Amino acid sequence: MATITFQGKPLNTSGDLPAIGSTAPDFSLVSGQLKDLSLADFSGKRKIFSIVPSLDTPTCAASTRIFNQKADSLENTVVLVISADLPFAQGRFCEAEGLKDVIPLSTFRSNFAEEYGVKIVDTILAGLTARAIVIIDEQDQVIYTELVSEVADEPDYESALAALK
Catalytic site residue from 11, 52, 60, 81: 60
Q: What's 99's DSSP letter?
A: -
Name the amino acid, one letter, at 143. Answer: I
**Helical pair 87-97 and 58-71, crossing angle rounded to 10 deg:** 60
Residue 106 and residue 94 in contact, taking contact as beta carbons nearer than 8 Å: no
Residue 114 and residue 127 in contact, taking contact as beta carbons nearer than 8 Å: no
Backbone angles phi, psi at 103, to 5 degrees: -115, 110
What is the spatial distance between Cα 163 and Cα 165, in angstroms, rounded to a whole number?
6
Active site includes 94? Answer: no
Q: Which residues are known to be catalytic?
A: 60
